Each structure stands twice: as structure tokens, then as C-alpha cells.
Chains A and B, each alone.
Chain A
Amino acid sequence: MFSLFNTLCLWGLTVRINSNFVKAAAAALSIACSGFAHAELNVFACEPEYAALAKELAPNANIYSATTALQDPHQVQARPSLIAKMRQADLVVCAGADLEIGWLPMLQMKSANAKVRSTDQGLFFAADQIDTLDKLASVDRSMGDVHAQGNPHIHFDPNRLLTVANALSAKMSQLHPSEAANYQKALADFSSRWQAAIPRWEEQAKALKGKKVIAYHTSFRYLFNWLGIEQVADLEPKPGLAPTSGHLASLLSRAEQKDILAVVVASYQDERGANWLGEKANLPVVMLPMSVGGNDASQDLFSLYDSAISLLNGVK
């Protein structure tokens, strides 16, 4: 199929344009070629951070992100547009650790795409590549909406993300061996830039070490773990449940110990509880981008980290 298009494209270059009809045909052909000539991977990313990572590792791929940084990835509708996109995907990249349990299985069932059913083939879970934090031996719903497989929001740990990048690049090469050299080149390029950035970020965030915050959910568990920030309380009374007035009152009394740097919420979370607490306890409220696109500054993974650290530094 793709080789046929390639042949047509080569042929298209040799056509001498001497009539309007041929011009029109050539134009149509060039449109078709731009879509198919590279025979690149169709990548379906569950979250924008994995769309951004796929973009680093396969710049020519057709990449689609199922969610934005303004959407809670726990609660996504298995909507028709996502079924249509997954139907055409060669590779599905998700956080895993049950983050997408409420919608990914339905998309797989409805899209009837055998290529992305199994992690042996075109399905990739980032959490499978690394050790997650906060794994639980047993889970009970009275604990709230927790994940037995650990915290799935792993993309704010630069070292874990680099491990994921290596595995994802290998997966791309497995699915599309003819492009393997290009994927390896892109990975080497990304790795060197990423490894250069890590000590720079750590230097920038040095003053944040040992600071205490109150945050919404455990969305930034890995960021805090990496930078040595301690989340001493959660705006959610239980994971997945919205803040209640009783719970906020208990956070207010906790804040009276005067050791809290800030109240942190993610770009897809409701700010009202945080704002109430911030006002009562005279604490700054920081909204961090949950992912690429979570604020204007976060255009790729590098600027996402830059933005998150500079926003935290800004409240000192």
C-alpha cells in the first residue's frame, strides 16, 4: 500500500506539467503523497505528555493526543472521535497503572484495531517501564480512587521519563523497523538535551528542597519526590473526591503551623478550594501545568519543566 504510493510519488515528480488537467492531477497526487509518502507511524497518545514525547522521538509521525492538560485524565469520555483515531493508530501510548481504566478498554473494544490491543504489539504503557511510587498491596474503595499499581503521573520525574523514552523508541523501532535508524537518532538527540537539562533544573530548584506544600491530588508526586518537596496535605479528602468544607477546615488548621510554602493545583483541577484555603491561611496558590499545553509557556517537555520550576520558584 505504502510502496504503491511511493511509486506514484516518484512518478509524479517526472510528469511534465503541460495541461491544466495534469496540473490538477499532480496537485491531488502531491496532497496524497504528503499524507502517505513517509508511511509514518500513527500515534495515539492518551495524555499530552506522551504526545510530546512521541514528537521528540518520531518528529515525522502523525501524533494525536486524546486529552489536553486541562482535562482530568481519570475521567475521559470514550467518545466517537477517540474511537475513530484509535481505529487508525499503529501505536497507542498511555501512562498506564490504571489511570485510563475508565475509558481505554472501551476505546480498544469499540475501535476494533487488533494492532493496539496488546503490549506485545502497538500498545505501550509508560508505567510498565519503571517502578511507580506508592504501590499498594491491597486497595479498598473506602480509600478513594487509588491505583494499586502506584501513582501513574510519572512524567514529572526526568529520570523515569528518560527510561520511558528509551523503551518507547525501541517500541517504535519494533513496529516500524525501516525507520529504526531515524528513531535511534532522535532518541540520542533527545537524551543528550534531556540529560543536559536535568542538572540545570536541579540547580534552579535547589532552594525548593525541604519545602512543604498542600496540593490537590497526588498529581505532582514525582515532581515533589525529585525536587525534595514534601506534600504535607491533600485538598482531596480521599483520592478522586472533590474537596469538602470540613476537609478544607482541617487543612486550614494544618496551615496555621506556618510552615507551608504554597497551595498547588494542576491545570485541570478546580481552584476554588485552593483559593479559599489560600485566602484564609494567607498562602499563595500556584497552578502548575499538568502537562504540555497546561499553560502558555509549556510548549514541549522541556518548557513544561522550565515553567513548573519557575512557577514554584516564584512563590518563595
Chain B
Amino acid sequence: MTVLNNRISLVALACAFASPTLFAADSSLTNPAISAVLNGYYQTAERPLAETAEGFGLGETELAMSANIDDMFYGKVTAVVEMHDGETELNLEEAFIQTMAMPAGFSIRGGRFLSDIGYLNNQHLHTDSFTDRPIAYRAFFGGHYFDDGVRLNFVAPTDLYWTIGAEAFKGDSMRAADEHGEREFKNVGVYTFYTKIGGDIGDNSSWQAGLSYLRNENGQVTAHEEGDEHEDEAAEEGHDHSHAASYTGKNTYGADFVYKWAPNGNYKYQNLTLSGEYYRVTDFVPSDLHPEDAPSKDYHQGWYLSSVYQFTPSWSAGVRYGEVDTQELHGDHFHGQKLKESEVSLAWHSSHFSTVRFQYTNQKGTNFDGIEDDNVFTIQYIMSLGAHGAHQF
């Protein structure tokens, strides 16, 4: 993650953004789709592993540019400006090319992009219905997992939607902690496999279900040496806390579903979205750990269920429950931890392009960053300007 205090590039992006071609219709090389997402909030308390901090803050400010490069390729760049501890970070969240003309339903994406595992992961944060990702995502994927790598995807020529894909990534943000800097990490650290199916139920309902597997070659934890003092996780990771996974293991298994409903399939006035995901991370225990130090459970797991109802074009309300059940290495032994989050949100949409959200979160923790029973209130705005990209299901 590069920390740039680079005003020039920000200005350049801002100029590109204000170009007169902004609203022209077809994005092409001379006329790319350019957009920005503005995101700010006030939050009454800290949330563990979250993007948002206590008090006033800016969420991810996105600047995106995309276009068809030529007959064969589509390209997209998404720069994200974030504030952390008073410093401005300019990160690249996406910088990928994708083939558009491969035969037989195949496509290849290369560069930096969001992994297609799970349901939420490939969606941009600004499309979420809650201020932060579910705790399972924050714990296992650092909020959302994007990385440098390559994807091969296939869509089957069937009426029932069926897609399968495989990805290989560098995996730096998914590495297990390495306090002594002695570990030899593999250069290609992460492989994923996923499949999704989906369809309609009559005119009113649509659904999608998926299974994911993530192989993390660098995910298994190495044991602390005798006499090491336990260090706080945040201190270990220092500044780079925002997008690294906190709980890693060699194998991660996931299942996800989403169901959407609208009267007559007309999403403008009312619609309902139900979604849920489950993840289990295994094989994290150091191989040289004494058997008597083994954790009580040899897996981390987390899940959430979410329901969002848009009851008028201008208002939507959501409820979400999520939890994680993890094992944290303290010196030479593991501590069980648990965090449960119950959330309610209410959002006002002045148009399709602006949202103001109020959210209440109750977080109950067991050995989780000292959280016992906290109530958190958040007020947030998310607005997009410029070209408005098409949304995923």
C-alpha cells in the first residue's frame, strides 16, 4: 500500500474529472466514463477492524475511470483516497484490464481487482447498505479483498445462470503476521475458486447462490518464540491496518446467497434484498505448536444475514446481524474470541445518486479488543458524481 502525499496526481485526477466530456454518453478511449464518490461520516465510537473511526471522518473517496480500450479490452482504474491518522493515502483499488471478445463465454481479467469470491466482495463499498462491511469480511478479508493477479471466468450457455472462475493473486494483504521477518512467503500467495448459479422466480423475484474456496499459501500462522511478549494486533500491523486480513488460515470456505424481490419486478418504488454469507477459515494453527497449546476450535468462522427494504424511491431501511468466532494467538497459545454485531440502518435517497444514512450498531464482544456491549451511532453520506456505472446484482 503506497502512501503518497502527492498533490499533483490528485490535481490531475481532479482535472480529468472536470473535463467537459463528463456527461457524454458512450465511454471510449477519448471519452472515458469518469466518476467520483464522496463519502463522509460522524460515528460515536470505535468499531473493531473497521474503515470508519470515531468522530468525524471521510470514508473512501473514489475516483474511477473506465472505458473500452479497443475491440478486445476493457480497462478500469479506481483510485481511493483515504485518511488514516491524519495522513492522506492514495491507493489503487482497481487497475485492471478485461478481455471482451474471447469465445465460448470465457473472459480473463488481469491487474489489480476485487476478487469474485462471495457475494459482497466484488461490489464497491459505496453500494453497500450499511456503513461498514460485516465483521466476517473485516476479519477475514480486510474489509474487501482486492489484489494483484489474474482471473479466468466462464459463463455457461444455459438458461440457469452458471459461472465458474479461478483467480491467482499475490496475496500480500492476506499474509499471516510475521514478526521476525524471517518467513519465506510465496510470491503467488492466494488462489481462489468460485461458482455461482442464479435465476428468476416468476416476474417478482431473482436469486443467486455461490460457493467459494480461497487457498492462502501464506495464511498459516507461525508460532511465537518462547519468551516473546504478546503484542497488540494493531501495534503489530502499525499503519497498514486498513486492508490486511486479521485472521488468516491456509483454507477458507465460503457460501453465499442473495434474494431480491420487487412487486412485478419493478425496482423503482419498492424492493427487498435478503443476503447472507458464511465463511470458515481453517488450518491456521502453527505446525510446530505443542499439542497441549492447540486452540479449542481449529477454525475461525463468521457469517451475516442482511435484509434491506426500499419502501419508497427515497427511503430504505435495513437490518443486519453478523458474528465472528475466532482464535487469536497470544504468545504460544490461542484465545477464543467472539464478536456479535446487530445493526439497523435508515437511508434517505434524494435521487439515485445521493444517500444519507443513519445507523445504529450494537456490538457485543468476548475477548474482542475489550468490547463488551457497545452502542454505536453513525451518520453518513455517500454521493456519486460524474458517469454512473452500472451496478451488479
B351 within 8 A of A: yes
- Complex alpha-carbon distance, A149 and B25, angstroms: 7
Shortest CB–CB separation between residue B36 and chain A, in angstroms?
12
B74 within 8 A of A: yes
Partner of B199, one of A75, A84, A117: A84
What are the residues of chain B within 8 A of A68 when measuring CB–CB? Answer: 203, 264-265
Within 8 A of B (CB), among A7-57: none
- Complex alpha-carbon distance, A10 and B163, angstroms: 35
A284 within 8 A of B: no
A105 within 8 A of B: yes
Chain B: which residue is nearest A42 at the CB level? B157
Question: Given contacts A84-B161, A112-B102, A114-B102, are A71 and B23 in contact (CB under 8 A)?
Answer: no
Contact A80–B102 (Cβ < 8 Å)? no
Question: Given contacts A80-B208, A102-B388, are A268 and B351 in contact (CB under 8 A)?
Answer: no
B31 within 8 A of A: no
Partner of B264, one of A71, A79, A113: A71
Shortest CB–CB separation between residue B232 and chain A, in angstroms?
42
A148 within 8 A of B: yes
Shortest CB–CB separation between residue A297 and chain B, in angstroms?
18
B301 within 8 A of A: no
**A80, A103, A114 interface centre (most CB from chain B within 10 Å):** A80
- Complex alpha-carbon distance, A262 and B169, angstroms: 61
What are the residues of chain A within 8 A of B390 when measuring CB–CB? Answer: 78, 101-107
- Complex alpha-carbon distance, A138 and B24, angstroms: 9
What are the residues of chain A within 8 A of B105 when measuring CB–CB? Answer: 87, 111-113
Q: Mark B98-125, 1 if CB is under 8 A from A, else 0.
A: 1011110111000000000000000000
Shortest CB–CB separation between residue B165 and chain A, in angstroms?
11
- Complex alpha-carbon distance, A71 and B265, angstroms: 6
Q: Pick out which of these stretches binds chain B: A139-147, A165-173, A248-256.
A: A139-147
Contact B200–A148 (Cβ < 8 Å)? no
A76 within 8 A of B: yes
Question: Given contacts A112-B105, A114-B100, A114-B102, are A78 and B392 in contact (CB under 8 A)?
Answer: yes
A77 within 8 A of B: yes
B56 within 8 A of A: no
- Complex alpha-carbon distance, A316 and B269, angstroms: 31
- Complex alpha-carbon distance, A84 and B163, angstroms: 9
Chain B: which residue is nearest A140 at the CB level? B23
Contact A138–B23 (Cβ < 8 Å)? yes
What are the residues of chain B within 8 A of A97 when measuring CB–CB? Answer: 25
Partner of A83, one of B106, B155, B268: B155
A81 within 8 A of B: yes
Question: Given contacts A102-B388, A113-B105, A141-B353, are A80 and B161 in contact (CB under 8 A)?
Answer: yes
Contact B268–A79 (Cβ < 8 Å)? no
Partner of A79, one of B74, B206, B388: B206
Chain B: which residue is nearest A71 at the CB level? B266
B197 within 8 A of A: yes
- Complex alpha-carbon distance, A8 and B335, angstroms: 67
A259 within 8 A of B: no
What are the residues of chain B within 8 A of A242 when measuring CB–CB? Answer: 269, 312-314
Partner of B103, one of A79, A114, A148: A114
A74 within 8 A of B: yes
- Complex alpha-carbon distance, A165 and B389, angstroms: 30
Chain B: which residue is nearest A67 at the CB level? B265
A279 within 8 A of B: no
Question: Given contacts A80-B199, A106-B392, A145-B352, are A75 and B107 in contact (CB under 8 A)?
Answer: no
What are the residues of chain A within 8 A of B196 when measuring CB–CB? Answer: 80
Shortest CB–CB separation between residue B107 and chain A, in angstroms?
4
Shortest CB–CB separation between residue A106 and chain B, in angstroms?
4
Contact A78–B157 (Cβ < 8 Å)? no
- Complex alpha-carbon distance, A256 and B100, angstroms: 56
Shortest CB–CB separation between residue A207 and chain B, in angstroms?
33
Chain B: which residue is nearest A111 at the CB level? B155
B267 within 8 A of A: yes
Contact A240–B352 (Cβ < 8 Å)? yes
- Complex alpha-carbon distance, A268 and B103, angstroms: 37
- Complex alpha-carbon distance, A295 and B158, angstroms: 31
What are the residues of chain B within 8 A of A70 when measuring CB–CB? Answer: 203, 264-266
B7 within 8 A of A: no
Chain A: which residue is nearest B72 at the CB level? A114
What are the residues of chain A within 8 A of B389 when measuring CB–CB? Answer: 105-106
Question: Given contacts A87-B155, A101-B388, A102-B391, are A80 and B206 in contact (CB under 8 A)?
Answer: yes
B57 within 8 A of A: no
Contact B158–A84 (Cβ < 8 Å)? yes
- Complex alpha-carbon distance, A215 and B100, angstroms: 41
- Complex alpha-carbon distance, A145 and B23, angstroms: 12
A157 within 8 A of B: no
Chain A: which residue is nearest B76 at the CB level? A109
- Complex alpha-carbon distance, A241 and B390, angstroms: 19
- Complex alpha-carbon distance, A254 and B288, angstroms: 82
Within 8 A of B (CB), among A234-249: 238, 240-242
Question: Given contacts A102-B390, A105-B389, are A139 and B267 in contact (CB under 8 A)?
Answer: no
Shortest CB–CB separation between residue B176 and chain A, in angstroms?
34
A85 within 8 A of B: yes
Shortest CB–CB separation between residue A276 and chain B, in angstroms?
15
Shortest CB–CB separation between residue A81 and chain B, in angstroms?
4
Shortest CB–CB separation between residue B104 and chain A, in angstroms?
9
Residues of B within 8 A of A (CB): 23-25, 71, 74, 98, 100-103, 105-107, 153-163, 196-200, 203, 206-208, 260, 264-269, 312-314, 351-353, 385, 388-393
Nearest first, the 6 closest Cβ-Cβ pairs linking A and B are A80-B198, A80-B161, A106-B390, A84-B161, A114-B101, A70-B264
CB<8 Å pairs between A and B, sample of 21: A75-B266, A77-B260, A79-B200, A79-B206, A79-B393, A80-B199, A84-B155, A101-B25, A105-B389, A105-B390, A108-B100, A109-B98, A109-B100, A112-B100, A112-B105, A112-B107, A112-B155, A139-B23, A148-B24, A242-B269, A242-B312
